[in-house]
Structure 1
Amino acid sequence: MTNLLQPGRVPISGDVYLPAEPGEVSWGLLPNAVSPPVRRVVSGTAVCLDTISHEGLLEDQGRDPAAFFAAAGIDVVLDDAAELARSGTHDPLLHGPHVVTGPIEVEGALPGDVLEVEILELRRRAPYGVISNRHGKGALPGEMPLAPDGWDPAVPVPPVCTIATVEGGRGAIAVGDGRRLTFPLREFLGIMGVAPATDRPVHSVPPGPHGGNLDVGPLGVGARLFLPVQVSGAMFYAGDPHFAMGDGEVALTAFEAPLRATLRLTLHSDAATRSLAAALAAPYADTGAEHLLLGLDEDLDEAVRKATRSALALLGARYGLPMPIALAYLSAAAHLHVSQVVDIVKGVHFAVPKPTLESL
């Protein structure tokens, strides 16, 4: 496996290129209100940025991606991933696992504005990645991963890291008995966000009004994510790249693997957009075919309520639907998905079909 999209290697699209070098990324913490930008751009700029998957770099994997993947028969790794693993800038007791590229300052962005992130292109940087299940995490903490025979119950069970590969345009994992499971690829960035209005460290795992670790699978090429700006300059960042993820992400991670992303950053400061963002108080998205309204809360039931309220608010503000009619439409035609249940703050997204609405 030698087909790697190394830093700086073409193709590079967009107006600005941002590599995932140690000085351009943060490992385990998200940018906050006092983080200095690594780039400054104007609204409408298409930014091409490299992202690094944390899988293969972490302490419970040996902090040596070359050795970790060599054990699975993979003999080449990305240069930027190997350099980051050697950097000594990650403390698993204090930091989350994710690597984010940025932050990028958008000139003129002010709190209350909305930053639109249009996903123009996602290129796979490697033909392999990892799906992990770790002790005390995932949808079945305490049950999975299974303890090896004779394992001391006082000792945490080691993580189970399943290597996934790209074969014939599909994802593939070995069963272990000669058979292979394959599945469709659906690339997206699990983390896209703006800096929250705090000078305290921001852990990379829980998502929030700033976006962050949203893990919303439909945010692939063609989708647009809308992030309520929290601080001047917005301070956008992205990371946690995936080649595929099932709704729920129940193991803890899905097909985690590095991407080169080209994203157009557009600032909206008009009154209607600011008013809608204030009413929703959370990121929202548009896939072209559907509106996506997000609900985020540690309690899954409350996350559902938040997503439903946001969907009602959008249908009222944008299409003038009375609330009882809007609720009936959601119940008859929209789909509520569990985005993920593994990021401390759980996420759901309401997928609201647009064609009927836009014919009103």
Structure 2
Amino acid sequence: MIARQLLLALSPLGIALASCGSAATGEKAPSPAADSGTPFAVEPVAQFDEPWAMAFDAGTGTLFVTERKGTIRFRAPDGTSGEVTGVPKVAYGGQGGLGDFLFAPGQTGATLDRRVVYLSWAEAGQGDTRGAAVGRADLVCTEPTRCSLQNLKVIWRQVPKVSGSGHYSHRLAFSPDGQYLFIASGERQKMTPAQDLGTNLGKIVRLLPDGTPAQGNPFADKPAPTNQIWSYGHRNVLGLAFDAQGRLWDLEHGPAGGDELNLVRPGANYGWPLVSDGDHYDGRAIPRNATRPDLAQSAITWNPVIAPGDFIFYSGDRFPAWKGQALITGLVATGLVRVRIEGDKAIEEARYPMDNRIREIRQGPDGAIWLLEDGEGGRLLKLTPTGAG
């Protein structure tokens, strides 16, 4: 054991300690997954300590990975690896820590010397309170193995900060035109704030790139934070992505059942905690979504849960049959879930079991699919087609 710890400590992409914190969103231990002849080969590339998110730099193809305890590591296409300094202090614990990482649109320079980036994290407040924060910074890389965050500025916060360490959500997505930043804000396991328009908990918010509320938001004439809100009635959104038509979708954890993929419309109420296709963990029933046709209906729900980690709409050429479909990572349904979109509805097409919980997914510059396993020792995996299936 001592030798293993020393080896990991010396690795530039080494892993350190614990696995996923709270299981309060249905994130249970994985069940064994059998190899079912999947249409891709899996290449392990690196290991990380509780990886949560990743993003490719469009200009250089360098991959950046966040680790929940507060580290950002990167890997260049030639295998060179390094670490980013200047990362803000995070409130680590439960589901909290360092979260999403996103490059501002339109940065395609051939050298990774300076980029504008966005990141999210769980931030401590006064007393025993916490909340998600989103910051904007300059990513400055002066050495092949060293980058730093400079001029970091917090541009958005969950309000109010509350007790507990779950349901931060804090996923980030830019609109296809690059004009708007969308942030998923979980209801922090408090349920009722999701229906309260006086808070930004349980909401998806739409901001300008500098963090100010966007003109034309559904409640733009109201004081902050109401003027940030794009949609509400959300529980714990762990995926946020635009499809090829420019439509925003979210991927949301239900309670005991009722994980959802939603087409997000401005001003719409997605029902939590008034309705769900799952029930409370103590067995108390929740009225089903269909009982409230006045509320936004999900494109698809899962019961039992898949406990999604994140998703993408695939747009590459390596897997042509999957183009335009949603590829969803699973923490309970360990592996990938592939979903076809038909109008404003979704249909599950296939599941591809894997050995471990999958936290994150991204499409690489060449159309390959990249995954991050969840927890301590989470591997970075590259998927390429085999021609099977």
Q: What TM-score do the two structures reach when normalised by structure 1? A: 0.25
The structure with more helix, counted as a fraction of residues: 1
Q: What TM-score do the two structures reach when normalised by structure 2? A: 0.24
Q: Choose between structure 1 and 2 for higher RCO, CA contacts under 8 A separated by at least 6 residues.
A: 1
